[in-house]
Structure 1
Amino acid sequence: MKALVKLSQIPFLCLLLILTSCSNDDGTVEPPQKIDNIVETAQSTADLSSLVSALQKADESADNDLISALSGDGPFTVFAPTNAAFADLLAQLDGYDSLDDFNTQELQNLLATILTYHVIPGVGALSTDLSDGQTLTTLQGSTLEVSTQGGVFIGDATTSNSEVTAANVETSNGIVHIINKVLLPQSILDTLADIILVPITDLAIGNENLQNLVAALTAANGDLPTVLRGTGPFTVLAPTDEAFTTFLDGAELGDIPVDVLTNVLLNHVIDGALFKSDLDGLGSGYTKTMATGAEDKNISIFFDTSDGVKFNGASSVATPDVKALNGVVHVVDAVIDLPNIVDHALANPNLTSLVGALTQGGNMTFTDLLSDEEESFTVFAPVNTAFDAFTNPNSNDLNAILSNHVVVGAAAFSSGLTNSYVTTAAEFDTDENLSLYINTDDGVKLNGTSTVAIADIVATNGVIHAVDAVIDLPTVVTFATADPNFSTLVQALTELTPSTDFVSVLSAQDGNGDDPFTVFAPTNAAFDALTAIPAEADLIPILQHHVVAGANIRSGDLTANGDTVTPATLEGDTFTITLPGTNENIADVTDGAGNMGIGIDAVDVQAINGVIHVLDKVLLPDTTN
């Protein structure tokens, strides 16, 4: 059985073909008949269902009868917004989620005003009848302007034109052109001024106290105004005119290089919408702006809501939560300059102890160093509670301790950290920089004692990682206990040799023992290669054979292309180091017993009381002497 099909379900073009083929009994062919009027055409078009709903909602007011009017004789030209266009309009109206919210006679009449602004009475104009610059008078009474540059565009009272996406839909009483935006007359913009949301750029243009910001956006990267008209959402921290005047300090916007000005402005833009309630809920912390800093990473910005809302300790929110179509604007009382390492430390109240330590007694060494924009830094910054807990058990110099938290010449982000050694700004004997061991097996731990609590605080000249403990100057014991590759060595030095206090001996510093030490440290794999770890009596001299006392022998002290005989070890024997090594060894070692094929795999792990070189086999002393 053939299914019955409603006439309205037959595609429009097919229907025309059917009607064209119809003839009278006498064989004459009748002209095609236009069956659907404008309203019926909209009802049968899925992408115009919101328009139909809007007509029905407007007609709930006794003042309106739009459906009957548009079903009448006409002719009319109708610009019909799609469902997406109505969704965009609702997104612009603060507090209106659907057409059902137009539930009073006043709102229904406003909706009727909008709809009649889409109707040109008295003419059924095809696209070929429209010309560039043409003005059309609407049923609502205001005018629309036509542009045919690159398509067909219809301009309303807003700054954004609609585009005709499907033209020339013929009906029995006029022509329908489908458009991608709901058209708004000036009267509607004036009436809904308090609730209609515009893009952030247009919001700034319309605010008389943000004209310097508008000028800066124009003077900077030409794409910025367009970006801030984009989809977003964005959070924009908008400095007032007075804030810009203070920032410029007599200079002109043109005096600032375009790339710098662009980055400063982007430092006021956050990806995503952050309302004051969101910030209050978080209390304080970091987010990222769209400005770029070290290694082209997005710069961090610190917010604190303990007393209002303040950004980077310098700019307070004067007017929060100015809603825009594509985000939210907070008007701020100061321009937020691009922060370097020092600026970030000063902005965060959790780092006041660090700042106090860095500047103690008027010391400017660290602030000058870490403000250098020509250098890159990684700073492991102890929080206040870390300083409170630190007792400085070895009475080390505070400046040296602080230097041990700074890596110069690289911005090391958490994503790039691995189990490895880096070199800090702290020094051994004024000429060799100390090492720092980073372990990423469980979070990020430094020298086995300090854990990164907040990672990747991005500045213009580097990155800060906030840590939960002060990193004291390391001894050779520090590295042995921090590096899991030396766990068997640590076991051998402690629980397997209880009669000898190796830890105390190798922790001596500042000449209070046999320091400095040069330690040749076997890895766990080196011990695994032994048939068995010897008993204590035999193990003690073996361990002593790995330590040279009274000397900090670095790889640069070895004889290039030759053999170096070490000073006597704590056990009494010497051994020989040949540089360069064979295979993948940095150097080869012949131990006191004459065993060869021992490799040095890593060199110059520098502590405050000596240096460590890493061995792939255990050294054995001469047991015959």
Structure 2
Amino acid sequence: MKLLPKFLLVAFLASAFVSCSDDDDAPAPPQGDPTIAEFVAENDDFSSLGAALEVAGLVGVLNGTDEYTVFAPNNTAFTAFLQANGFSSLGEVPVDLLTKVLLNHVVVGTNLSTDLTTGYISSLAVGSASASGLSLFINTENGVVINGGANNGGASVFESQVDILVSNGVIHAVENVIGLPDVTNQAIANPQFSTLVSALIAASTDQTNYVDILSGSESSPFTVFAPTNAAFDDLLSGLGASSLSDVAPATLATILEYHVIAGSNVRSSDLTTGLTAATLQGEELEFDLSNGAQVMDATEANANIAIVDVQTNNGVVHAIDKVLLPQVIVDVIDPTITGLAMMNDDLSSLFAALQLTGLDEVLNDRASQYTVFAPTNAAFDIFLNGSALGDLPVEVVTQVLLNHVLAGTVLSTDLETTYTNSLATFGGTENNLSFYINLDNGVRLNGVSSVTAPDNEAANGVVHIVDAVIGLPTVVTFATADPNFSSLVAALTDDGQEAQNYVETLSTPNGTAPAPFTVFAPINSAFDNLFAELGVEGIEDIDPATLTAALNTHVVAGFNVRSTDLTNGTVSTLGADLTVDATAGTLTDPNDRVSTIAVFDVQAANGVVHAIDTVLLPQL
């Protein structure tokens, strides 16, 4: 019989701890006040508690000078406890059990009601699984509720009977005896684990009830690595599922069992880097403490252990921020692109960015196909340059991410050296930004990023992992990325020429004057022809004023003139008016030099580029 991750239940509960130390600000009881034991003995409403303390030999403990906080059940609570457990009188309760139950109501230090916060606190009780104190879950969202209240083996504090100060601590009256919690109790008690509870129920059958199993002692103690609700949300998103009902119960059971180690109460002090442990599912977990406490599963994404050592009567729980997946599940699931990012530890920054922008839902759509060039965490670190992802405007991050996405599935064997379009757009238009792929030496993208791990196939496309974030391209980006423009780049950057400022000018962002630009960009053969015509060897032999005037004749400032905008007539550049023949796709300069537009509409974020086959010149 296999067990489920009831473990999950308790994990995150420890996220906030209730103070258990002496409170220097607590009002000191006046001299002569009774001790905890004396107050209980003198108060008729706690006579059953007083009798129980006598039987368990705890009167001396609560009668000394050490300070304690006691959640004190009244007589009605003890009567209900005896009836619920089949005891006709207090004398029938085994003394060792009674002692543990009573100590589970006692916490070290004076904790007033104002000191209590939602989270875990340790009682003096020691359960069956460990010599460490049992954890109590305190919920202060609506009063003070312990371990989920009376319906879950816990209790609620009477609002009218809190902060009863005595000489050695404080008493809070409760309406139920607090039982010894197991993993299931703690899962139900904490709303952070509502999805886990639902998963335990959904995975159970008539033969295997996971809630019951994780409540019992068979195969205990258990060590449970418990994913939070957020971790389950990420899993469902990665699987393209809208709810747990979309996951087969058998699959869910396998996943849950992978979070449970049976027969061992493994506390944080027992974990070491490289330690492995077999799970109820059968496969092993491995631990890595080199970069914080992490659990390694069959995916490439480790889970961080956020909270440790939530101790229950039948095991210990550690909260984790990811649902762990065994190899048997990894082999059969068909994750979306979002799922691949979620499961790859080196793409966690990308996954965070997708969630920030809402593009995780877009790339989770199984009805559409996409190709994603996915930057690694190191690539994001360089791109952010010390800033946090949240420091950037969401709309900017959205466009940058979309500039890594192509429509359709394009495997590495389908890639060609050419221009294509990403899903990013120019300004507020529907014009997609161009995307230059160069296969001359590996796969180079826009001249700034290379593919390092191609063809990671997903249910809705393919992911190629890249070594740099591909920023929004300027017109200069394409000039420098495309080797067909190497002579143009040399002209733009020619040392000693006024033209050397062109690179800076043409790199200005969209919307910054005088952007956007329309650049008619001569290809290398156009410059070769110009050199022959002028009788020179290269750019360096051209008169600076002539070079500057020539470059100006190829740039229209303030307009993003696409092919659909070209009509027969005149277009004014920074250097001269050109005559356009839209039908023939040609430009004529003042010297009657005719240039044919070879490539249209290479769209950048700050303008558009059209490749031409002749260098244009102003009036000579």
TM-score, structure 1 normalization: 0.46
Instruction: Tell which has more relative contact order, 1 or 2 (C-alpha 8 A, sep 6+).
Output: 2
